Structure 1
Amino acid sequence: MSATSSPHKFEDAAYTEEWVAYNEKQYPQRAVFIEEFVRTLKLQDGALRVLELGGGAGRLAEAIQQECHVDSYDLLDSSPAMQRLARTRLSSSKVTQLIKADFSDAKWPDLVSSEYDAVVTMQAIHELRNPAAVPLLYGQIATVARPGASVVVCDHLPVEPRHRGLYMPPSAHLAAMAAGGLANAEIIRVSDAMVLVRGEVTAARPDADGLFFWSRA
């Protein structure tokens, strides 16, 4: 399946600010899903080292840091405009590191740590623009997270014909986690045209050097 192009202009500061404000109003249900992220991460013991892919303006990062015991929080995003918004929102955080990178680029794992306790992403995984690439992303996540780490993913559902080939149904999310080498994949929540799923990094992690990864570049 070929990738679809992105209509977004996140390199533009004004567009990005308008898009973030619009999404806050368009998706009020995000608050419920953010609560589920927090609840899921609270099930893990000890201080968490967290990586967020496509962290955007930092809303999820803010909630997780407020409610969970977080030792470090790496927020990865490819948009400088988004990172400026996140830096403002998280200005009081002492554990956040902003990383400018695109998670569709095969080299992103080289820019982060290798022992995360949790990897999260909120309404961003569809930016791969190709569902066939999602299992490969999970394979890369497994190279930077410790065995037993949680991988928690929220995204839109394909409720309209135009969404097919971009968003994934719940069963496809579970299948992608399994195909990417994650264990114990489960659906945490499905509502309001969104889904939240969780998987777990296994003890046998793939070799990053030998992992083929699709890139839209």
Structure 2
Amino acid sequence: MTDAATGTDWQAWQDSWDRQQEWYLPDREERFRVMLDMVEAVVGTAPRVLDLACGTGSITDRVLKRFPNATSTGVDLDPALLTIAEGHFAGDARVTFVTADLKDPDWALRLPHGDYDAVLTATALHWLYSPQLAVLYGQLAPLVRPGGVFMNADHMPDPATPLLNAAERAHRHAGMDRARAEGVLDWAEWWAVAAADPVLAEPTKKRYEIYGEHADGDTPDEAWHARTLREAGFAEARTVWRSPSDALVLGLK
């Protein structure tokens, strides 16, 4: 939608974020499709969703398009991406956004609900180091209702295959070069455009004060995620989708 007060086209910002992310994740829509397939298979078509580290609300957008009777709570700390999300979903009573730092032990107290059918996240939690992520998984287990699901789609390389990993990286970088030739903005270019926008300039400045160029973190493999989710209190956990470099791990409560 377009903001009548500022003239900002929030749909255009949402679309540009998606294109920038697809620069790095050409199979991004496939992981979203499988994620929502599993939501439907396990908890049905009217889920209460927690969109964790939601960014611009990419997961929420796809949830509501596929499941019109769903509701979603988006939680993030990034003021620029939340500004886009709030503008994009303005007036939609199904959506709530919460500003919270997932490193804060009390972050979940800010949520409007005590539990959720599905907690979903994609390409975000690699900003945390493994010990921090293990703590977060322990905090998430009580937020997922019995029979509900948690899913994390992220970079989860296999350390046992370094040569294959290197070949995959080279192939992916070649794809990035093609995207650049087609005029797609990369991460740094996208943020430079946001910093120059009159509406997003101040939120982007605050975002860099929080994160710098990019937050640190690490990328444990999918076996670590499944094991840590079981240790956190999920009854079952395993990979439900895989690409050469990324995986979607599901924890069933």
TM > 0.5 between the two?
yes
> SS of 2:22's equivalent?
helix
Q: What's the CA shift for 1:170?
A: 1.4
After TM superposition, list the pairs within 5 Å mapping 1:158-197 onto structure 2: 158=157, 159=165, 166-197=218-249
Amino acid at match of 1:151: F
Q: Distance in 2 between matches of 1:70 and 1:168?
A: 35
The reply on whether 1:142 has 2:194 as its aligned counterpart is no
The reply on whether 1:33 has 2:38 as its aligned counterpart is no
The reply on whether 1:120 has 2:120 as its aligned counterpart is yes
Q: Distance in 1 between matches of 2:25 and 2:99?
A: 26
Query: In terms of Rg, which structure is larger?
Result: 2
Counterparts in 2 of 1:186 and 1:179: CA distance versus 1, 3 Å? same
The reply on whether 1:22 has 2:74 as its aligned counterpart is no
Structure 1 segments of 4+ aligned residues over 4 angstroms from their partners? 17-21
Counterparts in 2 of 1:90 and 1:19: CA distance versus 1, 3 Å? closer
Q: What's the CA shift for 1:31?
A: 0.6
Query: TM-score scaled to structure 2, two decimals?
Result: 0.65
> For the aligned residues, what is the CA RMSD?
2.1
Counterparts in 2 of 1:70 and 1:155: CA distance versus 1, 3 Å? farther
Amino acid at match of 1:181: G
> SS of 1:199's equivalent?
strand
Query: How many pairs were matched up?
Result: 180
Query: Greater relative contact order: 1 or 2 (C-alpha under 8 angstroms, separation 6 or more)?
Result: 2
Residue ranges of structure 1 left out of the alignment (5+ in a row) = 1-16, 202-217
The structure with more helix, counted as a fraction of residues: 2
* Identity, % of aligned positions: 26
Q: Distance in 1 between matches of 2:65 and 2:17?
A: 25
Aligned partners of 1:62 and 1:89 also within 8 Å: no
Q: Distance in 2 between matches of 1:82 and 1:136?
A: 25
Amino acid at match of 2:126: H
Alpha-carbon displacement from aligned partner over 1:120-154 (angstroms, at most 9, x marks no partner): 111111122x1123232121112222112100111
